[in-house]
Homo-oligomer: A and B are copies of this chain.
Amino acid sequence: MSAGEGADAGLNAFESEIVAGFVDLMQLLGMPKSYGEIYGLLYASSEALTFAQIEQKLTLSKGSISQGLRALRDLGAVTAAAAPSGMGAREVFSPQTELRSLVSVLLQERLVPYLRNGKQRIAAIEAALGGQGSSDDDPPAQRTLHGRATKLKAWQKRSATFLPLIAKILR
């Protein structure tokens, strides 16, 4: 007893362990932990859940649930289906259980913008190095800095290869 963190009233042991796991995963990937709670709860449920069911099982406001569900849907991690009519809810939510695609989407979400930036950054660095040489020259120092800039560029190029490679590993 009392291993994890937030109490989360209505979760059984199975559910709360799974939720905790996905909370950690989301945080590892720099996403809000509420996303992990929502996704984890869906993952631990044999049936698709309604908004209201999520709300009553987790200690999260409607606002957070709404935002979380939207983000997870946009990521393709959760799918919504029309709720069987008669019950109040509009939709029911299920997890995309293919973990590899989930992780790969989450990863790319962070890596792609980083790499995009990197590319222009390298250009700026090279420009700065070129422009700099004119005034105070100190050849050995300049060579060191050139070497470092070159290293960065090589790294940047390798990173571009990187991403598809990760995608492949995750397959």
Q: What is the interface of chain A, defined by CB distance below 8 A to chain B?
A: 3, 12-14, 17-18, 20-21, 24-25, 28, 30, 43-44, 46-47, 97, 99-100, 110-111, 114, 117-118, 121, 124-125, 127-129, 131-132, 138, 140-142, 144-145, 148-149, 151-152, 155, 162, 165, 169
Copies, count = 2
**A144-B46 CB under 8 A given contacts A18-B152, A20-B121, A121-B20:** yes
Which B residues are in CB contact (< 8 Å) with A44?
Answer: 145, 148
Q: How far is the CB of A103 from chain B (nearest CB, A)?
A: 8
Q: How far is the CA of A152 from the CA of B43 in the complex (A)?
A: 10
Chain B residues near A124 (CB-CB < 8 A)? 3, 13, 17
- Judging by beta carbons under 8 Å apart, are B125 and A14 in contact? yes
CA–CA, A1 and B75, complex, Å: 35
For A18, the chain B residues whose CB sits under 8 A away are 125, 148, 152
**10 contacts across the A-B interface (CB closer than 8 A):** A12-B128, A17-B124, A18-B125, A18-B148, A21-B118, A30-B30, A46-B138, A46-B142, A46-B144, A97-B148
The answer on a CB contact under 8 Å between B47 and A141 is yes
In angstroms, Cα B30 to Cα A161, docked, is 22
Q: In whole Å, how far is A26's beta carbon from the nearest beta carbon of chain B? A: 11
Partner of A155, one of B30, B47, B99, B152: B99
Find out whether the CB atom of A129 lies under 8 angstroms from the CB atom of B14. Answer: yes
Q: In the complex, which residues of chain B have a beta carbon less than 8 angstroms from the beta carbon of A14?
A: 125, 128-129, 132, 145, 149
Smallest CB-CB A-B distances: 3 pairs = A46-B141, A13-B128, A14-B128
